[in-house]
Amino acid sequence: MTPETVITLGQRAMELAILVSAPMLLAALVIGVLISLFQAATQINEMTLSFVPKLLVLVVVLLLAGPWMLELLVDFTRDLFKDIPNLIG
């Protein structure tokens, strides 16, 4: 296993991690900014006001994007297992 192979595998894994986490992170970012604007406009500083909507949005995003994220992870793992003979020798 050459250093280039290890770097390529690491790069692919990092790209996959970013791709899989992006929908959840972007949804949390958008809802967080919207709730912060609402809190600033109304001067309501309740912690549950920011937590509950984020939790609900993340559950919805996970339900919608979950199968796609799982498919990406399964494909990557399947390809990795399939390439084991090439990686070793």
The one-letter amino acid at 20: V
Tens digits of per-residue pLDDT, 7-23? Answer: 999 999 999 999 999 99
What does the DSSP 8-state code read for residue 45? Answer: -
**Domain boundaries of the chain, sorted by first residue:** 12-83
First to last CA, the chain: 7
Tens digits of per-residue pLDDT, 20-77? Answer: 999 999 999 999 999 999 988 988 888 788 889 999 999 999 999 999 999 999 999 9
Three-state DSSP at 2 gives coil
pLDDT score, position 50: 84
pLDDT score, position 57: 95
Q: pTM of this prediction?
A: 0.81
Sequence-distant contacts of 82-88: CB under 8 A, at least 24 apart = 87/1, 87/5, 87/9, 88/1
pLDDT score, position 45: 82
